[in-house]
Amino acid sequence: MKSFLKLTIAVIAVLALIFTGANLILHFDNKGDAGRPYRVEAERIAAKIERGEDYSLGDCRYINNIEIQENGFQSDDNDYLVKEINGMLYRFDYSYKTDNSAAVTSFNICFGVTAAFVLLLLLFLYIKIIRPFEKICYYPTELAKGNLTAPLKESRDKYFGKFLWGLDLLRERLESQKSAELALQKQNKTMVLSLSHDIKTPLGVIELYAKALEKGLYKDEQKKLEVARSINGKCEEIRSYVDGIVKASSGDFLNLEVKDGEFYLSALAENIKEFYNDKLSLLKIGFMVDSFSDCLLSGDLERSIEVLQNIIENAVKYGDGKEITITFSREDDCQLVHIRNSGCTLSENELPHIFESFWRGSNTGSNSGSGLGLYICRTLMLKMNGDIFAEIQDNDMVVTAVFAVA
């Protein structure tokens, strides 16, 4: 805000300086007569008189009378020039009016219109862009702090309407994820407390039986056999609890939602092309999207874009940085989208594991990551009744997303 105010003051000062300077120049130029055309005519006639040639005032536009006087001239209101030619004084009367008030007026009007346009433009920028931005500039910081309760006001402004809508959608998504995370934490804590309580009982029984056996309280072999069977049963009970923990931990912990719908393949391809053309160009990675026959696909467009973006980001991270190509093919009622990146460094025996959660290959090196990118891709594709697979072809990694045709 302060920077814009300084800019406005600077623009007004420059406009005022230009206006004042231009008017001063025009004003003094109106009073001066150096280089006026009547002097040119007077010099030409004086040269003819000096050479003794005839001259005619009919050819002159400004000089209207010439007098010779040896003893000087009487003063009058006429405009004239005095020149000494061949020892005699010649008076050249001329008529020349320098009134540039029309030019001054025209300049002031044009400059006034321009200045008004500039000031109105600055006012427009302030009302439509600067002031609305001032109201939302702290919103991302609040989101980063975790303040997700205050929704943004809806706006139909064509400059910030979509931006505000996107920010509010982000806030809702973060709030939803936060609620889901808290619910998951509560569920996990409840499960841990419940299991710890349930496991205590069989563990206590096993501990009692173990101490009894250690002290030799059971003399009868049949009783010892019954105790052993009880211990085995309690171990099976504990194993069932452990299996429940494993099953719960391997569930869909990300809670990814997919909206069933339809979209055109061209919409998916154009979004990816627009997003990565400039980015990969800056990274000096060759990027090509092959031609295709447009068709209607079944699924969620936003999630499909997310899938292809995850695959391409992996290609940027783990490829050799030379080329990424997207090609298309059809099989039965499925549309296949192939993302190929040059320079695959993953071994064949690691290939089956790349879609597992939290798995990272030996080629990750110093690249950061959670090992969830391709797992998310697979989960989303399966929820959209599609599939995804990967293969190594001629030392290139090819990841294929399979979409159902609507």
| pLDDT the model gives residue 94 | 85
Decide whether 181-249 matches 262-404 in CATH topology. Answer: no
- Would you give the DSSP letter of residue 166? H
Structure tokens at 350: 């690691």
Any idea which residue has 């989303």 for tokens? Answer: 380
**Measured between alpha carbons, how far is residue 75 from residues 67, 78, 80, 128 in Å?**
13, 8, 10, 68
Please tell me the predicted confidence (pLDDT) of residue 159. Answer: 66
Evaluate if residue 336 carries a pLDDT over 90: yes
What is the CATH class of 181-249? Answer: mainly alpha
Per-residue pLDDT of 173-188, as tens digits, reads 777 777 777 776 777 7
Residue 137 clears pLDDT 80, i.e. is over it: no
* 10: enclosing H helix or E strand: helix 2-31
The confidence score (pLDDT) of residue 77 equals: 59
The per-residue pLDDT for range 343-367, each reduced to its tens digit, is: 887 888 888 888 887 777 776 766 6
Q: What is the CATH number of domain 262-404?
A: 3.30.565.10
Give me 406's structure tokens: 């609507």
Q: Which amino acid is residue 226, in one-letter code?
A: E
Give 326 or 27, the one with higher predicted confidence: 326
Q: What average pLDDT score do residues 25-39 get? A: 63
- Beta-sheet pairing, 79-85 with 63-68: unpaired
Query: What residues does each domain of the chain span?
Result: 181-249, 262-404
User: Taking 50 as the threshold, does the pLDDT of residue 34 lie above it?
Assistant: no
Average pLDDT, the chain: 81
Is the pLDDT confidence value at 283 over 80?
Answer: yes
pLDDT over 80 (residue 291): yes
CA distance linking residue 143 with residue 146, whole number of Å: 5
Q: Is the pTM of this model over 0.95?
A: no
pLDDT at 385 (0 to 100)? 92
Rounded to 5°, angle at Cα 129 from 126 and 134: 85
Which whole-number Å values give the CA distances from 61 to 41, 43, 71, in the listed order? 8, 13, 28
Average pLDDT over residues 16-28: 79
Cα 9–10–15 angle (5° rounding)? Answer: 100
Q: Determine the pLDDT at residue 30.
A: 53
